[in-house]
A and B are shown apart, each in its own frame.
Chain A
């Protein structure tokens, strides 16, 4: 025991002196730590083998559960401020320990299972919903070379795994043996399945342009390579930002479509009819209390993070940001500020926008929701696909006006086609 501790300390010292002397590659610090840990674990036999394989997944789960806790706090404070009140501010400084209090409350609640409920289904539904939520995190490129699974068809895998959520929602609604939960579950599944179409079609545009479904390749393709490898720092900064897909016309439309479909897939307001605060019945979650409800909650937030991660990967440049190459290093790909800083910044900005939308917009009815998916988002996604295909083959002076014109015109047409035919469409609001 004493000599393994000595060995450990000596190894840390060696590693620090070897790597932090020059810090050649500042953004690869996590990759270096991982590689050192892997060589260490290689010497430990079977236990080391297991630990080396857990090294990719356990930090991912830990980090995103920490993000989940931070997000619940941020959401309650943000919603409170939007609604002109303080959020929770008793538990810690600014209420920062509120997620811990929430967790303790959830664990201590009594776990009520209805008497005629399907025991196996009722138990398995929260377990099964965690699987797609957590597995979806695996395909996010958090930094340069920091990705848990770099597969050739990673994006398709992500969408396939995300479609398993509807199965678990059905199980929850059915096993509760409650007609209201069944109808709520059916509505939730209808919403999830309907919004998968614009989600996948908006993501396909990016695959068409980049030529690969591998998420790290998609992020690499959003840098303007000739600017990034040049020597001027300003060009390096701009080259990493201006190449994002959101700054192209098809990219902007695709990002908006993907973001709205992500709001619906994650059951967040204004699409949260299944689990709304002001509805009497919580849909498929009616008969769940205590820790099972906490698992559903956690799975929903982690799913939200995964989809936001895919939004930033596809359109907002992933781990790119206004970085410069450190002048002391000789690696042409090194960056000064690590990529995961920008990635988490973008995720939290998008999460903040989702919280803002939640506090601001009213909720949609179920028929408005379904009509929105099939009659508004889907035609726009298909037209976006066509326009992006044409854009690819045109020169820039022809492509930009063409695509902007067609996209705006098609948006106007779809809005006009969806106008409600009610007589009293112009409402007058009187403020108190």
Chain B
């Protein structure tokens, strides 16, 4: 269990660091795909198989392809991202994120008392219970998500469409 977690976390860290440090954008997106697959693996490790499948279906299958399409459509031929890929204020940005990690997140984890074993050893992965839960107590959330996705769909198409010729 720990070995699997270590292997998956190595893949996650490699994927994440390559995403922010690679010069070639398409390679950065491919390492993001590696990251998403490893995160799906972590979900499987934590016995949440429906979420792992949803992660693969949505992030790898749909959002990944969307990002690649956007890279395609905004790719400048001269490759201006070749020389300097870091923005002007990169020092302050790095300082801010390091301080959030070391001053906020890690102390919160360190000083809290967390269980070292899961409370329930074996969870039966059950899609039926998830569906019942979703349709009984989370119906308003489902409606909101439906409206949100419809709005995002229509809005995305309208924003990205080429300007109409009069």
Contact = CB atoms under 8 A, between A and B. Distances in A.
**A adjacent to B, CB under 8 Å:** yes
Contact of B56 (A118, A121, A160, A174): A160
Interface centre among B54, B61, B68, B125 (most CB of A within 10 A): B61
Given A153-B49, A167-B33, A212 B57 contact: no
A401 to B, nearest CB: 29
Interface in B52-96: 53-54, 56-57, 60-62, 64-65, 68-69, 72
Contact of A163 (B33, B50, B57, B128): B57
A174 B65 CA distance: 13
20 contacts: A118-B26, A152-B125, A153-B50, A153-B125, A153-B127, A156-B127, A159-B57, A160-B57, A160-B60, A161-B56, A164-B60, A164-B61, A166-B61, A166-B65, A167-B33, A167-B64, A167-B68, A170-B65, A170-B68, A193-B62
Give the interface size bracket for A toward B.
Answer: 20 to 34
A289 B128 CA distance: 47
B53 A157 contact: yes
Contacts of B50: 153, 156
B116 interface: no
B53 A153 contact: yes
Nearest to A157: B53
A118 B54 CA distance: 31
Give the interface size bracket for B toward A.
Answer: 20 to 34
Given A118-B26, A186-B72, 19 more contacts: A121-B26, A151-B125, A156-B50, A156-B54, A156-B127, A157-B53, A159-B57, A160-B56, A163-B56, A163-B60, A164-B60, A167-B33, A167-B61, A167-B64, A170-B65, A170-B68, A174-B26, A211-B128, A212-B127
Interface in A113-172: 118, 121, 151-153, 156-157, 159-161, 163-164, 166-167, 170-171
Nearest to B71: A174
Nearest to B60: A164
A213 interface: yes
B30 interface: yes
A211 B30 CA distance: 37
B97 interface: no
Contacts of A121: 26, 30
B84 to A, nearest CB: 22
Q: Please report whether the interface of chain A is mostly helix, strand, loop or mixed according to DSSP.
A: helix
A182 interface: yes
Interface string A269-311: 0000000000000000000000000000000000000000000
B164 interface: no
Interface of A: 118, 121, 151-153, 156-157, 159-161, 163-164, 166-167, 170-171, 174, 182, 186, 189, 193, 196, 211-213
B112 interface: no
Contacts of A189: 65, 69
Contact of A152 (B30, B54, B72, B127): B127
Contact of A160 (B30, B33, B61, B68): B61
Contacts of A166: 61, 65
Contact of B53 (A118, A156, A164): A156
A212 B128 contact: yes
Contacts of B61: 160, 163-164, 166-167, 193, 196
A193 B72 contact: no
Interface string B23-35: 0001000100100
Contacts of B33: 167
A303 to B, nearest CB: 14
B65 A193 contact: yes
Contacts of B57: 156, 159-160, 163
B72 A182 contact: yes
Contacts of A153: 49-50, 53, 125, 127
A152 B49 contact: yes
A121 B49 CA distance: 30
A182 B125 CA distance: 41
B65 A167 contact: yes
A304 B56 CA distance: 21
B126 interface: yes
B53 A152 contact: no
Contacts of A186: 69, 72
A163 B60 CA distance: 8
A195 to B, nearest CB: 13
